[in-house]
């Protein structure tokens, strides 16, 4: 498994450094509306996109999730493709991997989050965009309740801008 991960990482890095066109930085405010039954959540993503690869980071705050404040900080990377008019509407899909650390208020143990993501983004001519991302995250913070790791299906909605 480590070898597959390293091979994928090397492929992404080599493709990334080979890209010279269509570089963009993206800043997005995100939320998981399907999780509102458990309370309000909000986050921010930074992402750098090239013709094919993307890399980024994400910070999400979820106050009071299962009665314990939840925060995660993750890294994201993968591939995607953009279609559309260079000065008009643009459409982008992406497929990638996300992984990082979960913080729970009152607990110092390093809880891990990781899993795949699949997304779509629509960008308006002036750089404002909307996106939807599906993630399938395996999380280890269920150790707090003396349970095994659990998997969470999430749909993230976001609005952002390119610069």
Give the chain's length. 163
Cα–Cα distance for residue pair 163/160, rounded to 1 Å:
10
Of the pLDDT bands very low, low, confident and very high (cuts 50, 70, 90), residue 12 is: low
Q: Give tens-digit pLDDT for 90-141.
A: 999 999 999 999 999 999 998 999 999 999 999 999 999 999 999 999 999 9
Over 80: is that where the pLDDT of 4 sits?
A: no
CATH number of the structural domain 2-162: 2.40.160
User: How many Cβ atoms from other residues are within 10 Å of residue 108's Cβ?
Assistant: 6
Of the pLDDT bands very low, low, confident and very high (cuts 50, 70, 90), residue 22 is: confident
Cα–Cα distance for residue pair 142/74, rounded to 1 Å:
18
* Per-residue pLDDT, 13: 60
Over 80: is that where the pLDDT of 71 sits?
A: yes
* Per-residue pLDDT, 27: 98
Domain ranges of the chain: 2-162
Q: Which of 148 and 15 is assigned the larger pLDDT?
A: 148
Q: What is the pTM of this model?
A: 0.84
Cα–Cα distance for residue pair 117/40, rounded to 1 Å:
21
- Cβ–Cβ < 8 Å for 78, 12: yes
Q: Give tens-digit pLDDT for 25-55.
A: 999 999 999 999 999 999 999 999 999 999 9
Over 80: is that where the pLDDT of 7 sits?
A: no
* Per-residue pLDDT, 5: 62
- Cβ–Cβ < 8 Å for 117, 134: yes
């Amino acid at each position: 498994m480590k070898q597959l991960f390293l091979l994928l990482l090397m492929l992404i890095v080599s493709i990334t450094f080979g890209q010279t066109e269509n570089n963009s930085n993206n800043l997005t405010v995100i939320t998981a509306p399907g999780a509102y039954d458990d309370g309000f959540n909000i986050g921010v993503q930074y992402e750098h996109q090239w013709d094919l690869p993307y890399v980024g980071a994400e910070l999400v705050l979820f106050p009071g999730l299962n009665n314990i404040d939840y925060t995660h900080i993750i890294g994201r990377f993968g591939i995607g493709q953009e279609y559309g008019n260079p000065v008009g509407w643009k459409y982008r899909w992406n497929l990638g991997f996300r992984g990082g650390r979960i913080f729970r208020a009152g607990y110092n143990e390093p809880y891990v989050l990781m899993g795949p993501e699949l997304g779509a983004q629509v960008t308006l001519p002036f750089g404002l965009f909307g996106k939807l991302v599906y993630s399938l995250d395996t999380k280890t913070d269920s150790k707090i309740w003396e349970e095994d790791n659990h998997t969470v299906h999430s749909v993230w909605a976001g609005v952002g801008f390119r610069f």
